[in-house]
Amino acid sequence: MDETALRNTPGYQFNLTQGLKATQNSAAARGLGISGAALKGASTFATGLADSTYQNQFNNANINQTNAYNRLKGLIDTGESAAAGQGQIGATTGNNIASAYGYGGNAAAAGYNQTGASLIGASNQIAGYAGYKGLYGSGLPLQNVPNPNGDGYAVGYGV
């Protein structure tokens, strides 16, 4: 802010004119008229008014710039928050997909285990039945019998 801008601020000229008139009237009422004391009082008033006007205008400009900065930063923060939210959604989706594959693999493994257990159970049942029929089916005890191929003996039922 320069001196020209300061002089053109709203109300400055009015306050300066009114303040100088008041200082002059006060000096005239005491009989000092256009004395050195009157001039000094006018100068002091004008300097004080300029200082306070400058400070007020500086503060207003600073507030306006801070407000503009905060509005722009709010837009940036909104974009940043949106991007972070999208990233979080992507990570959550990836984790959910990975979990679903894991759950699918676990379900398939459980199915294979159950199939294996069923086959083992069936083979145990068949073996048990065969053993039962072998011991009790023909009424003959197991014995070494000649192998039909002629190469030794096999365990079987005698005739």
Single out the residue of 36, 14, 41, 12 nearest to residue 26, CA to CA: 41
Average pLDDT over residues 103-110: 92
* Measured distance CA(7)–CA(49) in Å, rounded: 11
Which of the two residues, 34 and 148, has the higher pLDDT score?
34
Residue 159 has pLDDT above 50, yes or no: no
Lowest-confidence range among 2-11, 20-29, 98-107, 135-144? Answer: 135-144
> What does the domain layout of the chain look like in residue ranges?
3-124
Question: Do 142 and 155 contact (CB within 8 A), yes or no?
Answer: yes
- Per residue in 39-94, pLDDT (tens digit) is 777 777 777 777 777 788 888 889 999 999 999 988 888 888 888 889 999 999 99
The one-letter amino acid at 39: L
pLDDT-derived band at 114, boundaries 50, 70, 90: very high
Q: Given the structure tokens 């009790």, which residue do they identify?
A: 136
